[in-house]
Chain A
């Protein structure tokens, strides 16, 4: 084997550091997670604990309702992005990006809400998941009589009849 060149050393150092960060990130320490997440904004530090230790077994639903100019409040409407999947989705699944985005945003907002209490509600309102969901529901069709809109997240589980409210947003002008 030929002797190590500076290119070999540089490549080895870079991948070695990348691997070390990846291994450390698997250890699920909150302090480390927050530090690495600043680096991992470009998703170069992977997290490999798929569906574990707590498998996702609940559904999060995004709902919105309108408040009309006269003050009357409409009923809650659910936003559904998950498309019916058939066997073909094993090969070609163009609906997955949007469905996954809605899933990730609702789960993330639920986690933000759990982490912060009502006194910190302002922080919830400026979180990326809140803003992304707000922009999205605000863009959905509205009647000419709609003055404001709010959204909510509820949680359901298989076998349970009741939906559990997780979060209700402020009312926002359209």
Chain B
């Protein structure tokens, strides 16, 4: 495979970190823009979340969490997170490893804190953010020339492939997806719906069926990227970029695009250098 498609691990980590940090910066800016939504009387109340588990409300851990997650102190977490996004990008692009490492550690930690504070209100891209930033933080701290860095990166690559494979499998066994009914149904909902897209797939059933099967096939096929065949790698990664761009436009899943595409530089490295590569 040509050098263009066989990045050095350090370059793959940098590309992945920058893309992930952009996604985190977008989400964090959105949260800061609407910060009052985190108050104690809203849907994102920390006081209510604390009641869900004793350890969140009592003892040293509870007091510690309260110190950073209570409203309005929680704003400091978001501001720090935004600064960490900048540090990550600057550190990775400028080759200043300690700055990048610190940024990634803060991103991983703050992502976990967000999960603790508001388990309701996060989407699937949040799960990927936790493991992506944690892995990149480890890889950056130990250095790209180590086995530990390669293990951390392979963890993300396997999780990315697992995410597509599992999503595709559960769609394959679903009568709603196999028949093509899933897309019109999802696109009719207030949460993820889109009027024009819904009209297209509900008035033309063959489009709905084709769309459902295209998603199933792409998701099930994605792990084949690890075979390392250049044509297959390019096709699958381009399909992924298109898929996530499409869901961003149609379903407004804007951060899904950044988090999933952030794994692609690592997937590309793994495809070129992994044990299955041709």
Contacts and interface: CB of A to CB of B under 8 A. Distances in A.
Interface of A: 1-2, 4-5, 7-8, 10-12, 15, 18-19, 22-23, 26, 41-44, 46-59, 81-82, 85, 87, 89-105, 108, 128-129, 131-133, 135-136, 138-139, 157-159
B2 interface: no
Contact of B163 (A46, A52, A108): A46
Mostly helix, strand, loop or mixed at chain B's interface? helix
Interface string B111-124: 01001101111111
Contacts of A94: 30-31, 33-34
B186 A98 contact: no
Nearest to B252: A89
B152 A96 contact: no
A100 B191 contact: yes
Interface in B251-267: 252, 254, 257
Interface string B156-176: 001100111011001101101
Interface of B: 26, 29-31, 33-34, 37, 40-45, 47-49, 51-53, 112, 115-116, 118-124, 126-128, 130-131, 135, 138, 142, 146-148, 151-152, 155, 158-159, 162-164, 166-167, 170-171, 173-174, 176-177, 182, 184-186, 188-192, 194, 198, 245, 248-249, 252, 254, 257
B30 A101 contact: no
A143 to B, nearest CB: 18
Contacts of A4: 147
Given A48-B166, A128-B51, A53 B249 contact: no
A136 B45 CA distance: 9
Nearest to B186: A55
23 contacts: A8-B146, A18-B131, A26-B162, A26-B166, A43-B127, A46-B127, A48-B166, A49-B167, A52-B182, A55-B186, A56-B186, A59-B189, A81-B43, A92-B26, A92-B30, A93-B30, A94-B30, A97-B31, A97-B44, A128-B52, A129-B120, A132-B45, A136-B42
